[in-house]
Amino acid sequence: MNKEQVQGRVEETKGKVKEAAGVILDDKSMEQEGNLQKNVGKVKSGFGDLKQDLKDSL
C-alpha cells in the first residue's frame, strides 16, 4: 500500500463521518462538505491504486 492509497482511504472515512454527522445534525453544509471530502478521498485512493498497479506491472 502506498502513501496515496492510505491518505485517500483516511480522507474517504473522514468524509463519511462528516457526512453522517451532517445528516444527524440536519446540517446541509456539513453533509455536502463530507460528501465532497469522501469523493476526493475516493479519487486519491483510486490514483494510489493505479500507481500501485503500474509499479507492480513493471
- Over residues 19-49, the pLDDT tens digits come to 999 999 999 999 999 999 999 999 999 999 9
| Domain layout of the chain by residue ranges | 3-57
Give residue 1's pLDDT: 85
Q: 23-32 — which CB contacts under 8 Å span 24+ positions?
A: none
Global confidence as pTM = 0.87
pLDDT score at 58: 87
Whose CA is closest to 40, among 18, 12, 1? 12
